Amino acid sequence: MYGIQHDCFVATLVDERIIDIKNARHPLIDKNKVVPNSFHLDENTRLIIISGPNAGGKTIALKTLGLMVMMNQMAIPLPTSSGATLSFFPRIYADIGDNQSLSDNLSTFAAHIANLSTITYFVTKNDLVLLDELGTGTSPNEGEAIAVAVSDFLLDKKCFGIISSHFEAMKEYAYRRDNVVNAMMVFDDKKLVPTYVLKVGFPGRSYGLEMAKRYHLDDNVIESAKKYLNKSKKRSVNDVLDKLNNVLRENENIQEDLKKREKNIISKEKDLSYQTKVLDKKKESLLSDVNETKEKMLSDADEKINKILRIINDPHLKQNDLIAAKKELKELHKELFKEDDEEIDDSIKINDYVETSIGLKGRVTSIKGEKIEVMTLDGMNLKTTLNKVTKINMPNSFSMAKIRKNNIDEMVSSKADVGLELNLIGEHVDEGIEKLSKYLDDARIKNFSSVRIIHGMGTGALRKAVHDYLKKCSFVKEYHYGGYYDGGSGATIVKLKDD
């Protein structure tokens, strides 16, 4: 019930020594106010030194981690953002807060030392140690020395631990020693307020003078303290920390900006992918419609042509029948290529014949502004612009005057699926030349003016054979290597003569 009410997760208990907790919330602080923090300790990082301002959240961070470990070992779900991974700790040692006692004649420092004495006597490799303000209550020099010595002791014991401290020597210690990292409680130095956010990897300033100003210590006292601080030449460490914190903030801003840009890019990629799929479907639908229309036109034309040829080949053909056949042939021509007087452009109109910049010839079927659609000789729709086409006379392949008995096979073969390029990569020379010969015959039947032969670069044998064959072809007008977007020397552009 507690886990459901507080959005908790059951942690995973493992044998290897580890603490991996994401966004842990102190269970006794209002969940609408508490600031979650993450903790990670393993064999490579056994000790964390937390620094930062007073009242900045260091003590709460230590208590939060201790409570997370204890709750897990009592089978209580943890208030985290996801499932944590933890090992079992036989003992958890903590020296947190002011333990001075008048009855036992113990000062703050003495109470801390008494706790440290117990910890150092009993601690083992498998334990967790939490020490708050280690070394305070005595002279700074001696306190720093004790703090560093205790840290060395805990490292030698190989236990896990988190220590909070204001000592500069401890911050330096974390940089020098293996298996130790610095961490800081982030402080908003513009608003002069703590954020209670734990950042691992950087030490934090204590912000003593800033906190004194926040709590209204007399300005004269603060200014005097600044003068003493400058005279003691201890300001340089704080300056370095300020620069590090500035770099950290800049990096965080950059990371945040990169995340936003990445999110936008992912969103645009999804939109583009969706639009591409929609366009592909439309393209498939249009091509299907065009193919159906093309097949129906060819089928109807074939039927009428065969009828006319049967009449013409009849040995008992009469003059009236021949005239009727010619009239029917003329009507078929009009039906296939009927005129359209609608003018869209001063020079190019619908049903005009044009040649594109890549050598394809066809009939204009649509004009919208500068954009036009051209149906090529093989019935494919090509979209281009007016400035990329040239008006030409009707190509011979479009003239029904060529319909004769001896070209009926040509009319039938024009329905074959012959493209504007032939890929010979992977073919042996003999097989490649045989395919090339057949392909060029089909291309001529379809009245292609330009085709592309893809032979690759390889050893150059296939490319040489292709060029030698083209030299012998009387119907080849010219040939040359492909351009930058046409395959370069791995392809050859062949221009065919008009029949």
Q: Where are the domains of the chain?
A: 2-233, 261-336, 337-402, 413-499
The domain defined by 2-233 carries CATH number 3.40.50.10490: no
Q: How far apart are CA 378 and CA 295, in angstroms?
A: 11
Q: How far apart are CA 294 and CA 288, in angstroms?
A: 10
CA 356 to chain centre: 38
CA 296 to chain centre: 46
Q: How far apart are CA 375 and CA 382, in angstroms?
A: 6
Q: How far apart are CA 188 and CA 118, in angstroms?
A: 38
Q: How far apart are CA 183 and CA 245, in angstroms?
A: 12
CB burial of 390-412 (b: ≥16 within 10 Å; e: otherwise) equals eeeeebebbeeeebeeeeeebbe
- Please give the pLDDT value at position 105: 44
- Please give the pLDDT value at position 241: 62
Residue 187 backbone class (left: φ over 0; alpha: ψ -120 to 50; beta: rest): beta
- Please give the pLDDT value at position 180: 96
Topology (CATH level 3) of domain 413-499:
Ribosomal Protein S8; Chain: A, domain 1 (3.30.1370)
Please answer whether residues 140 and 169 qualify as being in contact, where contact means their C-beta atoms are separated by less than 8 angstroms: no
pLDDT by residue for the chain (499 residues), tens only, comes to 888 888 999 999 999 999 999 999 999 999 889 999 999 999 999 999 999 888 889 999 999 999 999 999 999 999 999 999 999 999 999 999 765 444 454 567 888 899 999 999 999 999 999 999 998 888 888 999 999 999 999 999 999 999 999 898 999 999 899 999 999 998 887 787 889 999 998 888 877 787 788 788 888 888 888 887 776 655 555 566 666 667 777 787 888 888 888 888 888 888 888 888 888 887 777 777 777 777 777 777 777 777 777 776 777 766 556 557 666 776 776 666 654 444 444 478 888 888 887 777 888 988 988 889 888 876 677 888 888 888 888 776 554 433 443 344 444 344 346 788 899 988 888 898 999 988 888 787 777 888 999 988 888 889 999 999 999 998 899 999 988 777 888 999 999 887 5
User: How many secondary structure helices (H) and strands (E) does the chain include?
Assistant: 12, 19
Please answer whether residues 130 and 65 qualify as being in contact, where contact means their C-beta atoms are separated by less than 8 angstroms: yes
Please answer whether residues 489 and 455 qualify as being in contact, where contact means their C-beta atoms are separated by less than 8 angstroms: no
Please answer whether residues 468 and 433 qualify as being in contact, where contact means their C-beta atoms are separated by less than 8 angstroms: no
Between β-strands 47-51 and 160-164, what pairing exists: parallel, antiparallel or unpaired? parallel
Q: How far apart are CA 497 and CA 499, in angstroms?
A: 6
Please answer whether residues 175 and 240 qualify as being in contact, where contact means their C-beta atoms are separated by less than 8 angstroms: no
Beta bridge partners of 495: 450, 478
Domain 337-402: state its class. Answer: mainly beta
**DSSP category for residue 340:** -
Please state whether the predicted TM-score (pTM) of the whole model is above 0.75.
no
- Which two three-digit tokens encode residue 352? 């005009």
Residue 204 burial (CB < 10 Å; 0-12/13-18/19+)? buried
Among candidates 434, 441, 437, 399, which has minimal Cα distance to 416?
Answer: 441
Name the phi and psi angles at 320, rounded to 5.
Answer: -65, -40
Residue 361 burial (CB < 10 Å; 0-12/13-18/19+)? buried
Beta bridge partners of 481: 492
Among candidates 356, 352, 365, 349, which has minimal Cα distance to 286?
Answer: 365
Please answer whether residues 350 and 367 qualify as being in contact, where contact means their C-beta atoms are separated by less than 8 angstroms: yes
Q: How far apart are CA 238 and CA 235, in angstroms?
A: 5
3-state SS, 100-113, equals: CECCCCECHHHHHH
- Which two three-digit tokens encode residue 191? 């608003």
Give, in degrees to the nearest 5, the angle at Cα 255 between 253 and 256: 65
How many Cβ atoms sit within 10 Å of the Cβ of residue 176? Answer: 8
Residue 348 burial (CB < 10 Å; 0-12/13-18/19+)? middle
130 in helix, strand or coil?
A: strand
Please answer whether residues 470 and 481 qualify as being in contact, where contact means their C-beta atoms are separated by less than 8 angstroms: no
- Please give the pLDDT value at position 116: 94
Residue found by looking up tokens 């040939």 in the block: 479
Positive or negative torsion for Cα 424, 427, 428, 432: negative
CA 26 to chain centre: 36
Residue found by looking up tokens 């006794």 in the block: 28
Q: How far apart are CA 181 and CA 162, in angstroms?
A: 10
E-strand ranges in 166-313 read 180-188, 193-200
Positive or negative torsion for Cα 441, 444, 446, 448: positive
